[in-house]
Amino acid sequence: MKKKHAVTGFGIALLLILGISLFFYLNFQTVVVSGPSMEPTYVNGQRLLACKAYGLVGGIKDSDIVVVKGEGKDDYFIKRVYKSAGEIVDFANVPENWVITQGDYKVPPGHVFLLGDNREKSEDSRVWGAVSLDRVIGKIISR
């Protein structure tokens, strides 16, 4: 005689919880603000939620706040997207090494130009130039 295996309500609920947990683990990350560069929007020690499921929250665009991989393994920084690929950055915010005689500074394809909200205390694209979208960990979705 063959045994029939019935899928119970508990089994379905368990699979659903596991699936949702895996989705959140792969698409969301909690980050902690470090330093004053995003004040007054965010303050040192504040916890934020970043999402890389752009289908849910929309693609990266000007004024979004993003988390970007830094140089070290667990190093990251949080900045606001000032300009996107193909857009021209005004002369007050171009990278330090940009010479005005070169003309307008245009954000390269596949990059974003990032600024901290607290311009006086922020090291950002004005220092390092545009940042590759490959380095963007996710978009901040919580306050």
Residues marked as catalytic: 37, 79
**Diameter over CA atoms, the chain:** 86
Spatial distance between the Cα atoms of 64 and 141, rounded to a whole number of angstroms: 9
Closest CA to 131 of 93, 96, 79: 79
Written as six digits, the tokens of 63 are 């004024």
